[in-house]
């Protein structure tokens, strides 16, 4: 049972004899080096990318709603039920059936399919890599309103140019991540 709030000296509210107006002491100063929201969500996208088994490209995404609540994360990988050890992870081979591109689910698709919310309409997607044309279609169809991307290293390829065109025509805002130069480290030892 919580103690009732009472009136203390000079009419200030108290709880168990402690003034509720006395939180401005020098020891009550918040940290100043905490992550911004953008840094936090992009860090989660990078952390998700670390789950990818792809030896060439690891992509991660984090989708948030307007209340800055996480509704989905995803990374690129093989569809559920397909063995990562039996499927191809290479690209550029003459036989298209031996190339990963015909099999891998992109991070954006995985996030949308595995969301923990009824929908992702009006959400923001943080991605380690600018989405391709196929993922752009999914993003637009789902009603995601903004894409914040860390890298657009592949933007000169047709599929990424097509994505850029579709986003512009559909009114999906694309925002390059503001690279602050900070390092986020996780030690599991």
Q: Is residue 108 among the annotated active site residues? A: yes
CB 44 within 8 A of CB 70: yes
Alpha carbons 16 and 185: distance in angstroms, whole number: 41
Dihedral sign (CA 50, 166, 160, 164): negative
Alpha carbons 99 and 136: distance in angstroms, whole number: 22
* Residue 40: alpha-carbon gap to chain centroid: 8
SS3 assignment, position 18: strand
Catalytic residue among 7, 86, 108, 134: 108
Q: Active-site residues: which are they?
A: 108
């Amino acid at each position: 049972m919580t103690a009732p709030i009472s009136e203390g000296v000079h009419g200030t509210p108290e709880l168990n004899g402690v003034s509720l107006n006395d939180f401005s002491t020098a020891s009550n100063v918040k940290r100043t080096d905490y992550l911004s929201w953008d840094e936090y969500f992009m860090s989660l996208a990078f952390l998700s990318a670390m789950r990818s088994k792809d030896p060439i490209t690891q992509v991660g995404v984090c989708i948030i709603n307007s209340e800055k609540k996480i509704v989905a994360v995803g990374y690129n990988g093989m569809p559920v039920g397909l063995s990562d050890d039996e499927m191809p992870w290479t690209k550029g081979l003459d036989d298209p059936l031996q190339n990963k591109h015909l099999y891998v689910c992109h991070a954006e698709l995985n996030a949308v399919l595995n969301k923990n919310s009824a929908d992702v309409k009006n959400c923001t997607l943080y991605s380690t890599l600018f989405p391709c044309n196929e993922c752009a279609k999914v993003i637009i169809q789902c009603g995601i309103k903004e894409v914040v991307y860390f890298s657009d290293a592949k933007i000169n390829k047709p599929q990424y140019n097509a994505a850029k065109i579709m986003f512009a025509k559909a009114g999906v805002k694309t925002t390059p991540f503001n690279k602050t130069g900070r390092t986020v480290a996780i030690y599991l030892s």
